Structure 1
Amino acid sequence: MQKNTFNAKEQEEKRKLFPYKWELIVILWVAYFLNQGDRQIFNVVIPLIKADLMLDDVQIGLVATLFTLVYGILVPVAGFAGDLFRRKWIIFFSLLIFSIGTLFTGFASGIVLLIVLRSITTGGGEAFYYPAATSLIGQFHKKTRAMAMSIHQTSLYVGIVASGFIAGYIGENFGWQMAFLSFGLVGILWAFVVLWRVKDTPMPKDELNENGEKPSFIEIVKAVFSRKTVYFLSLAFGCMCFVNVGYLTWMPTYLHEKFNMSLSAAGLHSTLYHFLFAFFGVMLGARISDRLALKRRRIRMEIEIIGLLLGAPFIYWMGIADSKLWCYVAMGLFGVFRGIYDSNLFAALFDVIEPRYRSSSMGIMLAFAFIVGALAPVILGKIKTVANMETGIMFLAGFYLLGAVLIFIGLKFFFNKNYYEENLITQNS
């Protein structure tokens, strides 16, 4: 009787015009947009905050550094939590907490409150979103996994570009406080949409251990660190994150100084072409990998290699471009291959990790990437002082090449041993 009920529910879900697994992507897309938007608005309104609260560059830098540090420390904890607790509730409380932190940042009157509300509350809340959300997407999307994750990833691109423009407009016309109040209020409201619409989905059988229980913390740690492929994927992700953080930090200044652009124009152009074309790249990479994954199990990591290997020349080109036009072209093509890499960032990881350990493995990858990426602004700043920023931008290309080599090593020597044969014929595939 129970089996017949399950089959009836399965058939009913398939007949829906808009199945739940895609509704979930829409809900989480907005949540991730707010996650990235809350992170970006601070960068946009820094001049207004400095002038109003009479802070210097070191104090502002401290707020940003502590945000990254708190995120990096807590994201592996968030990953383990995603494998041990209900992911709907982790997503809900993450969105609620970082939105409350963003809202009350608008009331900050000094450096201490900025650190408490921005660095600790917002940074800590954001850390718990991505591992749980991506793990949940992986549960509901198996044959469409790369496509679903890529659609979710596009909210990062849209969030960085759109929130920067929106926050800048609100800040210039209504004050920097209103930018935080607006994003925070929308986030709180969306948290309750998550509470209402996201199903409190229990872990399926393949996410439980041999005893039919949730895995213990020790079991999770042993399982994740026994997969050598994870090491190389994490190292490559660190290389990519180093480039990404360095690019986002210094490209506006690079355009401003090299081509005498205004700060507002440099801020827009430094992200617009890159993320616009990354959108197409991520969808292309997802489409290809999902179509071939059943026939070629290595395809996801191979596409990551292609993205890093072919993206490197265009990073180098940005550094040697002698006109704005060619620099924009290089940014766009760099974005295409960045998107191709992004399309299988965690889908490739899931090929070597069982479902019950996936949230934890993502937390470990994210923590490593943030630690490595946090070094980029300082290193490029040093290169700028001893040489120039053109040299710093070209220097970033080497990290994309190194990332491609690292993934190739993992694929060549460890992937076949670590590959997890997943049953793709399921209710939610």
Structure 2
Amino acid sequence: MSYAMLHATRKTLSTVKPSLIHTWVSNTSTPEGPVFPTPQAAAEFLGGLDTGFMVAYSIGLYVCGILGDNYNPRRLLTLGMMASSIVVFCFGYVTETFHYYSPTAYAILWISNGFIQSVGWPVVVSIMGNWFGRNARGAVMGAWSSCASVGNIIGTLITSNTLYMGYQYSFLIVCSILLIYSFIVFFQLPSAPWEVNSNTVPERIDEEQETERHPPIGFFKAWLLPGVIAYSLAYACLKLVNYGFFFWLPFYLHTGLHWPESFADVLSTWYDVGGIIAAVIAGALSDSMRSRTPVVFIMLLLATISLYIYAHSPESYNWNAFLLLIAGFFIGGPANMISSSITADLGKCDQLHGNAEALSTVTGIIDGTGSIGAAMGQWFIPSIQQWFGWDAVFYGFIVMILCTALCLTPVLWKEHKDRRAHRSEEVDSLLQEYNDSDEGSTGDIQEVRRRPTTANA
């Protein structure tokens, strides 16, 4: 719920964009007149706000990832939640209540919110990684990573049901819930099992080792951990698409398909529902496999098909809801897996043996790089839509999904070679046992070669 409410506050802006544009363009309550001359100018400014948010968010992820490995994650999370609730309250409620429509003030507040909210994801992934091991990580963290989608749904439903009072009340309610919940996090959230029971510590750390524990791995060394660079680049492409839906889907349904704003907001939640379902199913499935990469790769290929079909979807509520559910399944699912269970695997890999875990740092690197890609997308989406139409936006999403799959190809190939090498080593080991015992006949050796190995399983 802590991260869900953080996501709900940032989702509120994307759901009230039509109302903001109308207020800024038709404003006559100040001597200066309208804030922007045309709706397109206002939409491009909102795109700039989204870009500024994501740039600040990406920079903050690199910084907060390091902080999460050095300081108490519960206190960092509480501080971020409190600060974010105050900033968003000023952005959405104070400016409208006092009719203070300043683009500069909007930019400062929303970009600041991007940096503040960056404390959330590395810290919460680090906390979850302390509680669950590798065998259950896909199912547990897959289900848990849906918190972002749950937050989107909460923010959207609050907005759609309060928009008739004025968009500022949507911000007020969401920020109030976030502020209240920050106190619950501070007093009730244990960041690790040993905060609940001092006798519960990781098996590999005894009392003597804990007192001599090495400092957390450095930021640049974390980049060199296996898979970090590949998944960082892949997530940059994938997060551009995922956040394109996050920031612009309600706006597209309102302006592109001409549905009422509150109606479009509710319809957009089906994309998040698909992401929730996929995170649970794909996460649980990947636990039974040697690697999670093939699951992500196959889902990405299917995502291109779902995007193409949705780009040509009819103007029907039922069809749009169904196709958004499918698109959310194949796009949001891999995004949730990369940002949670896969990141946790990379941050707790064998190369970190004897060193403090770098889970928060690795999370900051992967999510921070992904946010850079998302920031670039939000800058171009309104312009591409204006010049070429919404179809061009969706085709651009398809290209970025293919780029995501391409970035993961080296990881997939390396894992395939490692499996073959491991299988060969097992066969050679069995053959050596037969030769040493002098009891194996030619038929026995042939039987060994045919025998299934652990790698095959």
TM-score between the two structures when normalised by the length of structure 2:
0.74
Contact 1:310 1:337 in 2 (8 A): yes
1:85 to 30, 54, 71: 71
Contact 1:98 1:124 in 2 (8 A): no
Q: Report the counterpart of residue 17 of structure 1 in structure 2.
A: none
Moved more, 88-97 or 46-55: 46-55
Q: Report the counterpart of residue 118 of structure 2 in structure 1.
A: 127
How far did 1:258 drift?
A: 4.9
Q: Does 1:196 align with 2:184?
A: no
2:35 to 55, 79, 97: 55
Secondary structure in structure 2 of the residue aligned to 1:273: helix
Residue-by-residue CA offset, 1:345-389 (whole Å, 9 max, x unaligned): 231233333361111111111111111112223434444344332
Aligned equivalents of 1:239 and 1:61: distance in 2?
A: 18
2:174 to 180, 183, 192: 183
Contact 1:149 1:347 in 2 (8 A): yes
Gap change, CA 1:416 and 1:141, over 3 Å in 2: farther
Contact 2:65 2:123 in 1 (8 A): yes
How far did 1:184 drift?
A: 2.0
Q: Does 1:213 align with 2:197?
A: no
Q: Report the counterpart of residue 287 of structure 1 in structure 2.
A: 284
Aligned equivalents of 1:171 and 1:320: distance in 2?
A: 30
Gap change, CA 1:163 and 1:306, over 3 Å in 2: same
Residue-by-residue CA offset, 1:19-66 (whole Å, 9 max, x unaligned): xxxxxxxxxxx1112101110112333424634785331654544433
Aligned equivalents of 1:342 and 1:63: distance in 2?
A: 23
Q: Report the counterpart of residue 342 of structure 2 in structure 1.
A: 348
How far did 1:137 drift?
A: 0.1
Moved more, 326-335 or 305-314: 326-335
Contact 1:73 1:367 in 2 (8 A): yes
Structure 1 residues not aligned, in runs of 5+: 1-29, 418-429
Q: Report the counterpart of residue 335 of structure 1 in structure 2.
A: 328
Q: Does 1:161 align with 2:153?
A: yes
What amino acid is aligned across from residue 396 of structure 1 in structure 2?
Answer: F
Contact 2:54 2:374 in 1 (8 A): no
What amino acid is aligned across from residue 124 of structure 2 in structure 1?
Answer: A
Contact 2:270 2:324 in 1 (8 A): yes
Contact 2:50 2:247 in 1 (8 A): no
Trace 1:16-415 onto structure 2 (pairs within 5 A): 30-46=1-17, 47-48=19-20, 50=24, 51=27, 54-56=34-36, 57=42, 60-105=46-91, 106-108=93-95, 109-111=100-102, 112-120=104-112, 122-142=113-133, 143-173=135-165, 175-199=166-190, 201=192, 212-216=212-216, 219-269=217-267, 271-290=268-287, 292=288, 296-298=289-291, 300-324=292-316, 325-345=318-338, 346-354=340-348, 356-413=357-414
Q: How many residues get paired?
A: 378
State the percentage of identical aligned residues: 19
Secondary structure in structure 2 of the residue aligned to 1:356: coil
What amino acid is aligned across from residue 280 of structure 1 in structure 2?
Answer: I
Contact 1:318 1:394 in 2 (8 A): no
How far did 1:200 drift?
A: 5.3
Aligned equivalents of 1:132 and 1:316: distance in 2?
A: 36
Gap change, CA 1:207 and 1:308, over 3 Å in 2: farther
How far did 1:316 drift?
A: 1.1
Secondary structure in structure 2 of the residue aligned to 1:360: helix
Aligned equivalents of 1:102 and 1:253: distance in 2?
A: 20
Q: Report the counterpart of residue 434 of structure 2 in structure 1.
A: none
Aligned equivalents of 1:357 and 1:396: distance in 2?
A: 32
Query: RMSD of aligned C-alpha atoms?
Result: 2.9
Moved more, 234-243 or 41-50: 41-50
Secondary structure in structure 2 of the residue aligned to 1:107: helix
Contact 1:33 1:159 in 2 (8 A): yes
Aligned equivalents of 1:90 and 1:382: distance in 2?
A: 37
What amino acid is aligned across from residue 333 of structure 1 in structure 2?
Answer: I
Aligned equivalents of 1:158 and 1:311: distance in 2?
A: 21
Contact 2:308 2:398 in 1 (8 A): yes
Contact 2:127 2:191 in 1 (8 A): no
Gap change, CA 1:164 and 1:207, over 3 Å in 2: farther
Moved more, 50-59 or 67-76: 50-59
Residue-by-residue CA offset, 1:389-411 (whole Å, 9 max, x unaligned): 21321331222222123223123
Gap change, CA 1:383 and 1:60, over 3 Å in 2: closer
How far did 1:140 drift?
A: 0.2
Contact 2:241 2:397 in 1 (8 A): yes
How far did 1:134 drift?
A: 0.6
Aligned equivalents of 2:85 and 2:61: distance in 1?
A: 17
Contact 2:303 2:401 in 1 (8 A): yes
How far did 1:92 drift?
A: 1.4
Contact 2:81 2:117 in 1 (8 A): yes
Aligned equivalents of 2:394 and 2:108: distance in 1?
A: 34
Q: Which has the larger radius of gyration?
A: 2
Contact 2:3 2:124 in 1 (8 A): no
How far did 1:339 drift?
A: 4.2
Gap change, CA 1:41 and 1:184, over 3 Å in 2: same
What amino acid is aligned across from residue 305 of structure 1 in structure 2?
Answer: F
Q: Report the counterpart of residue 24 of structure 1 in structure 2.
A: none
Structure 2 residues not aligned, in runs of 5+: 37-41, 196-200, 349-355, 419-457
How far did 1:133 drift?
A: 0.7
Secondary structure in structure 1 of the residue aligned to 2:110: helix
Gap change, CA 1:287 and 1:200, over 3 Å in 2: closer
How far did 1:327 drift?
A: 4.2
Aligned equivalents of 2:72 and 2:119: distance in 1?
A: 12
